Every structure is written in C-alpha cells, then in structure tokens.
Amino acid sequence: MEHERVVIRRGVRSGAVIIIAIHSTARGPALGGCRIARYPDWRDGLEDALRLSAAMTAKCAAAGLAHGGGKTVVVGERGAGVLHDVGDLVEELGGAYATGPDVGTGPDDMEEIATRTTHVFCRPSASGDSSPATAAGVLAALRVIGGTSFAVMGLGHVGARVAGRLLDAGHRVVVSDVDESKRALFPAAEWVAPERILEADVDVLVPAALGGILTPSSVPRLRCRAVAGPANNQLDRPETAELLRARGIVWAPDHVVSAGGVIYATEVELHGSAPAAAMARVEAIGDTLRRLLDRD
C-alpha cells in the first residue's frame, strides 16, 4: 500500500462501514469526495477508496493545487445518521483530509457533515454544487480534443450537463445510462443501451459514469478516435493506456479532465475567488490538456 493512512470504522449511529483513505498529504491536506455506494463486500469498497484517493492525488497535482488525495467510501445504503458518522471520522483526522460531494452525495449532505466537522467543501452556503464546474472542465477538455459527435456514458449530475451543452452546440450526441428513465431527458440525442455505448461510432467517447470501463476486452470494441470524460479511474490498470495508443485512440487522462469541481471549490472557499474567476481557473484545464497532448 502506498497510502499514508487508511481508517476503517463502523459508524456508531448508522452501523455502516466507513472508509477514509488518505493517499498523500505531500502537497497539502488531502481532498476528495464522500462516495456512498453498494459493493459486493466492504473490501471492494476499501479497494475503491484506495484507487480513488490515489486518483485524487494525481488530480490535485495536475491542477496545481496545494492538496493531496483522499476519499471517503461509505459501503451500502445511506442509513440514518451516516453523514454525522462520516463527519466525526473526518474531524478525527484533524484537517489532514477534507471531504466533498461525490457519487451518491450532494451539497445538502455536506451541510449535514458540516455539523460535525469544518473540513468539508461544497456546502450550499459555501461554494455549493460542484457539478457545473466539473462539466465546464470537461467541455474545456472536449474543445481541445475536437470533434462533432460524442457519446456520453452516464447521465448523472455531470454527464447530463455535458450532454445538454453538446446538444445545444449542435453536435451529434449519443447517450446512455443504467437508468432507462433518463432517456426522456434528451429527446434530441440518440439513446443506446449502456452495454452498447462503447461501440458508438462517434469522434469522442465521454465516460461519465463509474470507473474501470477501459479494459483489454473493451478497448478493441471502441469506434471513437478519442476518449475524454470525467469518470474517475477509467483504465482498469495503467497498461491499458498502451492498448489505446496502439489503436491510435487519444486518451485524455481522467484526473486532468475531471478536476473542475475541486478547482472551483478550493478557489472559492480557500482563496476567496469570485465564481467567475474560479470558473476561469477551471477553463485552464483545456490548456493543461493541450500541453499534455503536445497540441501547443
């Protein structure tokens, strides 16, 4: 394990298994959202926390933030009292880690966590919902990648915004979600079943759901010329990037593309930036990606 600290605790109120992984504080306090999700076993949740917190270290570093990476994973349902349990555990870490929203949590939940600790971002009374900023960062990245047709995989807070903006811009957009009811959200888009979206014949695939979708078996099925999206940990393992390269598919690293939320929240809450100035910092994700892809 390359992590600095991992805490696993059963919540006294909720009975839920709560895991906080601090990957690194070398650049500053660890930062990373609180995910509430079901896993086959709590050990799978631990595995996820380890991988996601490491990704946050890369994300904060690539964004030039004085923060390291961490992550909270709550295994299972959001039982009563679980957010207070999370808040207590965050507080125990004494500022080495601050939390924020993630899959399964939102700004109102951060307010609840904030009743137990000050180490929390994105309360509605602070910087609020980070998904518009995350989506703006994704769009900045997509402008660098280029293209006129896009397949958005996952219509959550970020994916739905990105799909909407791409449609508004007049692009051809293919969408999918595990929740069929989302189909009605975008009548102007082409809907495909989740298992088909990887094969969509588009310029760019935009992963905006859970991680691990780029694997030795999925990469040969891709028909896009680039992959760029906000889902964390898109590669099942680092070597899969080579398979993409061999097929001539450009991959924009997710830790660069998905940094809009943390950039925005830290700009507003720690540096006192106005929302517009913080959004301008988010747009710089495009410059970072351009440098990385050598497209200067």
Number of residues that bind ligand PHE (CB under 6 A): 15
Location of structure tokens 């988010």: 282
Q: By CB under 6 A, name the one of 152, 219, 252, 262 that touches ligand PHE.
A: 262
Query: What strands, in cross-sheet order, belong to the sheet with 204-207?
Result: 190-191, 172-176, 149-153, 204-207, 226-227, 250-251
By CB under 6 A, tell whether 29 contacts ligand PHE.
no
**Interface mask toward ligand PHE for 43-82; x: CB under 6 A:** ----------------x-----------------------
Cα–Cα nearest to 193, from 215, 177, 205: 177
Least distance in Å: CB of 187 to ligand PHE? Answer: 29
Least distance in Å: CB of 160 to ligand PHE? Answer: 16
Among 30-38, 153-161, 198-206, 212-220, the segment contacting ligand PHE (CB under 6 A) = 30-38
| Residues 230-259, interacting with ligand PHE (CB under 6 A) | 232, 258
Least distance in Å: CB of 213 to ligand PHE? Answer: 16
By CB under 6 A, tell whether 31 contacts ligand PHE.
yes
Q: Which is nearer to ligand PHE, 100 or 286 (CB)?
A: 100
Q: By CB under 6 A, name the one of 32, 137, 156, 211 that touches ligand PHE.
A: 32
3-state helix/strand/coil string of 3-45: CCEEEEEECCCCCCEEEEEECCCCCCCEECCEEEECCCCHHHH
Q: Which is nearer to ligand PHE, 33 or 154 (CB)?
A: 33
Location of structure tokens 């996601």: 52
Distance CA 206, CA 45 (A): 25
By CB under 6 A, tell whether 11 contacts ligand PHE.
no
By CB under 6 A, tell whether 33 contacts ligand PHE.
yes
| Residues 75-134, interacting with ligand PHE (CB under 6 A) | 100-102, 121-122, 130
> Active-site residue 182, yes or no?
no
Q: Which two tokens stand for residue 30?
A: 């660890």
Distance CA 116, CA 137 (A): 31
Distance CA 203, CA 32 (A): 31
Catalytic residue, candidates 71, 119, 161, 281 = 71
Distance CA 84, CA 92 (A): 12
Q: Which is nearer to ligand PHE, 78 or 225 (CB)?
A: 78
Q: CB nearest ligand PHE: which residue?
A: 100
Q: By CB under 6 A, name the one of 132, 159, 211, 261 that touches ligand PHE.
A: 261
> Where on the chain is the footprint of ligand PHE (CB under 6 A)?
31-33, 59, 100-102, 121-122, 130, 232, 258, 261-262, 265
- Catalogue the active-site residues: 71
